[in-house]
Amino acid sequence: MTPEEFRQQGHRAVDWVADFLAHADRYPVLARVKPGQLSDALPACGPEQGEPAERLLADFERLILPAVTHWNHPGFMAYFANSCTGPGVLGEMLAAALNPNGMLWKSCPAVVELEQVVLGWMRQWTGLPADWFGQILDTASVGSMHGLAAAREAADPNSRTKGMAPGLTIYTSEQAHSSIEKGAIALGFGQENVRKVPVDVEFRMRPDSLAEMIERDLAAGLRPCCVAATVGTTSTTSVDPVPTIGEIARRHGLWLHIDAAYAGSAAFCPEFRWIFEGCDRADSFVTNPHKWLLTPMDCSVFYTSRPDVLRRAFSLIPDYLATADDPRAVNLMDYGVALGRRFRALKLWFVLRAYGREGIAQLIRDQIALAQELASWVDADSRFERTAPNPFSVVCFRYKGSDDDNRRIQEKVNESGEIFMSGTKLNGRFTLRLALGNAATGRRHVERAWELVRAAV
Amino acid sequence: MTPEEFRQQGHRAVDWVADFLAHADRYPVLARVKPGQLSDALPACGPEQGEPAERLLADFERLILPAVTHWNHPGFMAYFANSCTGPGVLGEMLAAALNPNGMLWKSCPAVVELEQVVLGWMRQWTGLPADWFGQILDTASVGSMHGLAAAREAADPNSRTKGMAPGLTIYTSEQAHSSIEKGAIALGFGQENVRKVPVDVEFRMRPDSLAEMIERDLAAGLRPCCVAATVGTTSTTSVDPVPTIGEIARRHGLWLHIDAAYAGSAAFCPEFRWIFEGCDRADSFVTNPHKWLLTPMDCSVFYTSRPDVLRRAFSLIPDYLATADDPRAVNLMDYGVALGRRFRALKLWFVLRAYGREGIAQLIRDQIALAQELASWVDADSRFERTAPNPFSVVCFRYKGSDDDNRRIQEKVNESGEIFMSGTKLNGRFTLRLALGNAATGRRHVERAWELVRAAV
């Protein structure tokens, strides 16, 4: 593809994206293909000679689009919804063009420095400590794994050379994201050494249970190492009582990791700053701009108040990557598993500037208000019951019937092509879950979702 | 940013990228900023209100570009060079617009199925076994860590629940990429349990030493677990003798992991298929389209012949992500640490189709031929000596003087702004390293690099 062909196809693609941004709801939100349908439609072998550029976009529309579940559809209310935004797409396009690898400061100063600057803006806007060190990773799963690895390094500095010591234990709630457990498995802690602390009626970690479990493990000769608290759990968006948890962690010298992957963005609204209460004492912290913060996948922010520990856990400098020391020339490869680092800060910078703090806060505020309205509609219909509080933009509820009844409702709604909703289990029962968060989702989409749910009974 | 504003700015950005693709050499290849210079030029706090869209692109040009080290410059000959290509940029733009998360088949069938299809094309084109399972990860570092995790699962199925067992050992060569050791540290193997097998005069792992080390460890009661061989080492692009290594691994029941991050792309040329000799018996294998294969960062391919083991190591299905079982609806979240999965296959599909196998092979062939020419110029100048064989597109050589002399040459060349070269250590001595690989690098750029090196003596 010559630069001139790129220019031509690029303009076509931009026009397609502009139309898509304006009318993402022209497609069914949930892909209607059968498993294997796209695979079968594609040639089993690639072309020996290059194909004309215009075919790429044509096949994208013809073959790929029907197999896409449209996360950018205003009716996408499953998992944690996200948004495609113009500034985010521009950022990705330019990042792909420059295509730098910011593993070292020298290998692309812009990648490293812009990352530090925008993560500073985010700390300011959400009230997090100014002196935290930040880096952008791909996902919160990987970020949490890095937090646990640093926790291990702090608890047992020999683990780096000697290997994982037995008996190090991790505490997180029954409602924590599976990534905490998965990170612990990957790092060699072992699933058995992840304690699932019970939750209260609002699905928040119970500090009394946490304290008891730590005492019990200490008495058994184990070595409590880390507490991972959640600000906005996946099923119900509950906020663990971080101040009390942090106090317990401090008392026992445990690493405090905070998973604020989804809800962290709400702290852009001053009235939601409370969610970070106690987080200023965290040792590590993750939040995902690629969820609620209008930034394309992937962009997960990892902060730590103890970068020295993280660096001890991960730094390994081969001869071919040795550079001169300079305190302002940070080599981000020293702080994690991945060596390569793409220019993710660019899209985040564009998004933060194009919307501004207040613009982002207003969008988030609107989504939360819509969710509160939806909750009131659920409460007003005696056939339904809410199954959890809804502090943010997610509403959990169920039809007062069997699990199967509720699954049928979910299926019927999802078949509509207008709304995609998810489900979860709470207190052993299947529950429906409408998760707002796409920037284009308005009152009429939420009304329509509720209408479809009721019609599906 | 409204869709119409996006359209306007998107067209501007496409024009910028088209010009950039045509003239990436108009910028100095190595950024000329001082550490902290970009940070100091940016406001310490982000804007409270959104800013007009056109300012984003203006500031991108004014502030960001001077701080960019231009990986897409034809004079970029450091590390492993990569290329920005039109189809790659189009793919990233559209992936950012759809912004799907392919964690589950259902959450975006297109992400999952296109990934399987294009990785099938790559297997065919490079002669790798058709029945391997593939997935795209961010980096080879993360891919190798996944390979080691699967190796652990195979050697000690209890490790998942009980935690890392002591005494599991990993074997890789002294010339292996640091990511093998880093992965082992992260997973809890411990740095002490990574054996660095000595290399021969061509920097290839010595199978006799490997066998001895395994025997010694077995005799000491340790549990050899994995051999990580390299096809194209980082410093010298050496190819480990995989058939013999694989035979040793088989004899002892060790997992065989192959790191072909850079050189794997050469197998697109039939005359370089030999590099994968013996790899058909690998248990896991990584290669990076974001290096030599014209695809933007990040795109690293991970294959395994034992997906069941990888799945046992990583699968963890929370209630909110439970789906119906269907053998054709693969849930890729079951095969790794990260839950989120962006649509990386799209750009790779575009690249493979736009160039075709033969188009890609020809570009790679040309780079290798240029590197051979460069090597012959080095050999012809008695002031210089080559310090390693150069089977691919990287030439290692040194001025017959001190390490400091050679560092001075490197610095002087890099200050030119025309060429960016790296260095490494071989047999304890600093050596210069010119790594070709950018698609725009032609004979005149290599001639110029050699001219600058000689002038810097």
Q: Count each helix (H run) and each strand (E run) in chain A, helices first.
A: 15, 12
pLDDT at residue A288, as a whole number: 98
Closest by Cα among A180, A377, A118 to B43: A118
- Does an H or E element contain A118, and which? helix A109-126
Residue B361 CA to residue B34 CA, distance in Å, equals 39
Report pLDDT digits (tens) over B183-194: 999 999 999 999
Within 8 A of A317 by CB-CB distance, chain B residues are 178
pLDDT at residue B320, as a whole number: 82
Within 8 A of B259 by CB-CB distance, chain A residues are none
Tokens of A429: 């029962």
Instruction: Find out whether B87 and B431 touch, Cβ atoms under 8 Å.
Output: no
Instruction: Find out whether A255 and A155 touch, Cβ atoms under 8 Å.
Output: yes
Q: Helix (H, G, I), strand (E, B), or coil: what is residue B164?
A: coil
Instruction: Find out whether B223 and B165 touch, Cβ atoms under 8 Å.
Output: yes
Q: A324 pLDDT band (50/70/90 cuts)?
A: confident
What is the mean predicted confidence (pLDDT) over B434-456? 97
Residue B348 CA to residue B294 CA, distance in Å, equals 9
Q: A342 pLDDT band (50/70/90 cuts)?
A: very high
Q: Is residue B49 left, alpha or beta, with left meaning phi > 0 and alpha meaning psi from -120 to 50?
A: beta
Instruction: Find out whether A435 and A422 touch, Cβ atoms under 8 Å.
Output: yes
Within 8 A of B65 by CB-CB distance, chain A residues are 110
> Which residue among B35, B164, B300 sits closest to A188, beta carbon to beta carbon?
B164
Closest by Cα among A352, A348, A361, A360 to A301: A348
Q: Produce one character per residue of B83-101: b if its CB has 16 or more CB atoms within 10 Å, e if not.
A: bbbbbbbbbbbbbbbbbbb
pLDDT at residue B327, as a whole number: 86
Q: A327 pLDDT band (50/70/90 cuts)?
A: confident
pTM: 0.98
DSSP A435: E
Nearest Cα of chain A lies from the Cα of B199 at a distance, in angstroms, of 16
Q: Helix (H, G, I), strand (E, B), or coil: what is residue A6?
A: helix
Residue B449 CA to residue B392 CA, distance in Å, equals 18
**DSSP string spanning A176-200?**
S-HHHHHHHHHHTS-GGGEEEE-B-
What is the mean predicted confidence (pLDDT) over A349-369? 98
What is the mean predicted confidence (pLDDT) over B16-43? 96
Q: How many C-beta neighbours within 10 Å does residue A216 have?
A: 12
- Does an H or E element contain A135, and which? strand A133-137
Q: Helix (H, G, I), strand (E, B), or coil: what is residue A168?
A: strand
Whether residues A108 and B337 touch (CB distance < 8 A) is answered with no
pLDDT at residue B422, as a whole number: 95
pLDDT at residue A247, as a whole number: 98
pLDDT at residue B311, as a whole number: 97
Residue B149 CA to residue B144 CA, distance in Å, equals 9
Report pLDDT digits (tens) over B225-283: 999 999 999 999 999 999 999 999 999 999 999 999 999 999 999 999 999 999 999 99
Q: B322 pLDDT exceeds 90?
A: no
In terms of DSSP bridges, do strands B284-287 and B429-435 run parallel, antiparallel, or are they unpaired?
Answer: unpaired
> Which residue among B96, B100, B168 sits closest to A92, beta carbon to beta carbon?
B96
Q: A320 pLDDT band (50/70/90 cuts)?
A: confident
Residue B316 CA to residue A191 CA, distance in Å, equals 11
> Which residue among B2, B44, B433 sits closest to A120, beta carbon to beta carbon?
B44
Q: Helix (H, G, I), strand (E, B), or coil: what is residue A237?
A: coil
Whether residues B46 and A329 touch (CB distance < 8 A) is answered with no
Q: How many C-beta neighbours within 10 Å does residue A429 have?
A: 12
What is the mean predicted confidence (pLDDT) over A65-83? 97
Across all residues in chain B, what is the average pLDDT? 97
Q: Which residue is closest to A362 within chain B, CA to CA?
A: B49
Whether residues B86 and A3 touch (CB distance < 8 A) is answered with yes
Q: Helix (H, G, I), strand (E, B), or coil: what is residue B289?
A: helix
Residue carrying structure tokens 């896991």:
B284
Closest by Cα among B84, B46, B135 to B345: B135
* Cα dist from B330 to A410, B99, B151, B322, whole Å: 21, 19, 22, 12
Report pLDDT digits (tens) over B387-414: 999 999 999 999 999 999 999 999 999 9
Nearest Cα of chain A lies from the Cα of B371 at a distance, in angstroms, of 19
